[in-house]
């Protein structure tokens, strides 16, 4: 400390000059801070004016510039003001107006009601054409029973009356009738029996074709196995009989083999013959009978959603459910040839369907294909755009061995073929 004593007088003499020098150095800093505060205040005021006038772009610009006046001033409240201006700017922007919906073009073609009316008229015309072909009082009565409100009804009445007038006179009715409308004629019993014997099948998914572990002795045309999903449908409990064919067509098939067995399945009917049968049956009943699709047939034969996985339709023991080459003719007393058996004589399958294995093969709607590659997955008929030269039939028959009566087995023939081993059942 004593070393400082010699310089102390000099330092004390210069103290006023040192204080003045420090003040000079501080003046620019103080002036810069005051100007920054003034700039910030001006920015806030000017920006607020623009904001009040809803000039949000200008307010944002002024307040943003105000933040740049001085790092020392910082203007901490300008960030909040800028955010307020941006929020107000966003809220003030007009919301986009959605474009007006384009007018929908008016649907072309007939309405649903018009299509139904057209379909009803076409069905009535087809039925009327059949009635004229048959040209009997009974035929016109059946037509009027189902299509009495159609535009063909008046002509049907006229033709019916003309036939009645040409017939022998009927006894005069002595007691006045209390009925104001004539009773509608009933359909023949074999025809009404067809509807009574239809079985409703609940749809579902199943494996169609040869499946390892379930089926045996499979052929290439039964492969590949594939999943098919079907909707509900109706199928006949029995094969169509000779009596039912005769009731619709007026006579037996021209080449019927086992004649004289009314309850035996009709056979020697071609796929084409069945189309004529369906046309007349639907005209008489007003319904839409058809052949089953191949997928519907196999699903029903396997027991549908109640299937127990049998090899044949309803059993693993073929003799329980089928008439085939080993048992059909032995002791048979039915019909001229004693081959087919009356329907329903064996055990039914899980759905209550009879003779889906054996008795006669059954025509399906589908065209024949040599395997299942590309087959429909929805249970619809597999029909080519130009129909193929063969159709499918399923189930085996009275002169076929057990292997051909398996539920997976399939066969086919030309649509004109008439075979004493082939008949059909109906779908609806």
Q: What is the DSSP string of 354-387?
A: --SSSSSEEEEEEEP-SS-TT--SSS-----SS-
278 and 399, same domain (yes or no): yes
146: pLDDT confidence band, cut at 50, 70 and 90?
confident
- Residue-number span of the structural domain to which 351 is assigned: 189-423
Q: Are residues 231 and 314 in the same domain?
A: yes
Are 198 and 152 within one domain?
A: no
Q: Where do the DSSP E strands lie in 72-222? A: 198-201, 204-208
How high is the pLDDT of residue 173? 47
Same domain, 210 and 80: no
Domain-embedded: residue 181: no
Summarised one tens digit per residue, pLDDT across range 98-144 is 676 666 665 566 788 888 888 888 888 888 888 787 778 877 888 88
Of the pLDDT bands very low, low, confident and very high (cuts 50, 70, 90), residue 223 is very high
357 part of a folded domain: yes
200: CATH: 3.90.1580.10
Let me know whether 399 and 307 are in one domain: yes
Mean pLDDT of the chain: 85
Domain identity same for 132 and 243 = no
Residue 281, pLDDT above cutoff 80:
yes
Check residue 87 and give its pLDDT.
Answer: 86
Asked if the structure places residue 182 within a domain, the reply is: no
Q: State whether 86 and 122 are in the same domain.
A: no
What pTM did the predictor assign? 0.62
Q: Are residues 259 and 159 in the same domain?
A: no
Q: What is the pLDDT of residue 64?
A: 81
216 shares its domain with 296? yes
Residue 108 is assigned to a structural domain of this protein: no
Judge whether residue 259 has pLDDT over 50.
Answer: yes
What tokens appear for 232 in the block? 């509900």
215: in domain:
yes
Predicted pLDDT at 23? 40
pLDDT recorded at residue 159: 87
Q: Does residue 184 belong to any structural domain of this protein?
A: no
* Domain limit, last residue, from 165, 197, 229: 165
Q: Is the pLDDT at 268 greater than 50, yes or no? A: yes
Residues 397, 329 within the same domain: yes
The answer on 303 and 397 residing in a single domain is: yes
**Structural domain tally of the chain?**
3
- 76 and 225, same domain (yes or no): no
pLDDT(47) > 70: yes
Residue 178 included in any domain: no
Q: What is the pLDDT of residue 62?
A: 82
Statement: residue 233 has pLDDT above 90: yes
Tell me if 368 is assigned to some domain: yes
């Amino acid at each position: 400390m004593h070393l400082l004593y010699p310089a102390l007088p000099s330092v004390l003499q210069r103290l006023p000059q040192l204080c003045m020098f420090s003040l000079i150095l501080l003046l620019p800093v103080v002036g810069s801070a005051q100007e920054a505060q003034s700039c910030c205040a001006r920015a806030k005021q000017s920006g607020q004016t623009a904001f009040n006038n809803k000039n949000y772009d200008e307010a944002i610009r002024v307040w943003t510039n105000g933040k740049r006046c001085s790092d020392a001033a910082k203007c901490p409240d300008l960030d909040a003001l800028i955010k307020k201006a941006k929020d107000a700017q966003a809220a003030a922007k007009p919301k986009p107006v959605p474009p007006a919906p384009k007018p929908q073009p008016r649907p072309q073609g007939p309405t649903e009601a018009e299509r139904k009316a057209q379909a009803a008229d076409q069905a009535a015309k087809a039925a009327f054409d059949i009635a004229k072909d048959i040209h009997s009082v009974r035929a016109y009565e059946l037509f009027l029973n189902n299509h009495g409100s159609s535009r063909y009804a008046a002509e049907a009445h006229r033709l019916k009356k003309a036939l009645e007038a040409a017939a022998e006179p009927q006894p005069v009715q002595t007691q006045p009738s209390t009925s104001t409308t004539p009773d509608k004629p009933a359909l023949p019993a074999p025809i009404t029996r067809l509807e009574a014997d239809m079985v409703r099948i609940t749809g579902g998914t199943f494996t169609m074709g040869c499946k390892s572990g379930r089926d045996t002795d499979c052929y290439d045309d039964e492969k590949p196995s594939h999943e098919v999903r079907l909707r509900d449908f109706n199928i006949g409990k029995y094969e169509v009989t000779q009596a039912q064919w005769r009731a619709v067509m007026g006579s037996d098939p021209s080449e019927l083999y086992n004649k004289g067995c009314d309850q035996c399945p009709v056979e020697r009917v071609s796929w084409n013959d069945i189309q004529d049968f369906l046309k007349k049956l639907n005209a008489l009943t007003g319904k839409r009978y058809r052949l089953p699709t191949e997928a519907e047939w196999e699903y029903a034969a396997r027991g549908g959603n109640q299937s127990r996985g049998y090899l044949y339709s309803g059993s693993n023991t073929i003799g329980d459910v089928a008439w085939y080459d080993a048992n059909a003719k032995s002791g048979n007393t039915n019909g001229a040839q004693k081959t087919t058996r009356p329907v329903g004589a064996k055990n039914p399958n899980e759905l209550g369907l009879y003779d889906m294995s054996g008795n006669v093969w059954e025509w399906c709607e589908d065209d024949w294909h040599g395997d299942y590659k590309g087959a429909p997955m929805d249970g619809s008929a597999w029909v080519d755009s130009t129909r193929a030269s063969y159709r499918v039939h399923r189930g085996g028959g009275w002169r076929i061995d057990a292997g051909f009566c398996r539920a997976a087995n399939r066969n086919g023939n030309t649509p004109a073929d008439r075979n004493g081993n082939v008949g059909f059942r109906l779908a609806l």
